[in-house]
Amino acid sequence: MKRVLFGLTMGAAALAVAGCSSWGWGSSSSSSSSGTAATSASTKAAAALSPKSGTNTAGRVTFDQQAGGGVMVVVSVTGLPPGTTHGFHIHEKGDCSAPDAMSAGGHFNPAGKPHGQMTMPDHHAGDMNNLVADSSGNARVQFIMPDVTVAPGPNSVVGRAVVVHKDADDYRTQPTGNSGGRIACGVIAAS
């Protein structure tokens, strides 16, 4: 008798879980080809950088939210003048439509902090270290951003823009780092 009751209870629980899952799939994006992926928020995103302000600078940046906190950022940029240093930030608006990328707005700064270097106590969530081009004009680097997420929330990078600047960020000048014009821009989308 106990066995039968147990079996019935488990059956009801299974039905309840199945019901929740169906509801979850129905209310999420249909872009996922696998039903299981849609049950958790995306933890990966990417931006394709396009040339701006008449340059040939392009590239790709990927974002992978880490289980222990922070987001792993992998950067590959091409078409920089060899040996040069360039300010590099996440900007608040996911709009790279302007020829000078000014449409991307200011630095992504959800906490209202002063601009600074990523390792300083005060910095914008979107502040990243300068990119340094090698002798071929390429910059490849990877690092952890401590204050952003990929999953939805006030600090999510999805729907923002990655911007490469013409000059080096001095990590001091407010609120821009005095890094000059914008030479590449890409909108960050979940992937």
Residues assigned a catalytic role: 89, 91, 107, 115, 124, 127, 165, 182
Residue ranges of E strands in the chain: 44-51, 58-65, 71-78, 85-91, 127-132, 139-145, 161-165, 182-187, 189-190
Residues that bind Cu ion (CB under 5 A): 89, 163
Phi first, then psi: what are they for 65, rounded to 5°? -65, 130
Three-state SS string across 29-70, please? CCCCCCCCHHHCCCCEEEEEEEECCCCCCEEEEEEEECCCCC
Of residues 163 and 183, the one with the C-beta less far from Cu ion? 163
Q: Which is nearer to Cu ion, 38 or 145 (CB)?
A: 145
For Cu ion, the closer of residues 90 and 158 by Cβ is: 90
* Residue in 150, 137, 146, 147 with CA at minimum distance from that of residue 59: 137
Q: Is the CB of 25 or the CB of 60 nearer to Cu ion?
A: 60
Q: How far is the CB of 74 from Cu ion (least distance, A)?
A: 19
For CA atoms 133, 162, 166, 125, the dihedral sign is negative
Q: How far apart are CA 53 and CA 136, in angstroms?
A: 20
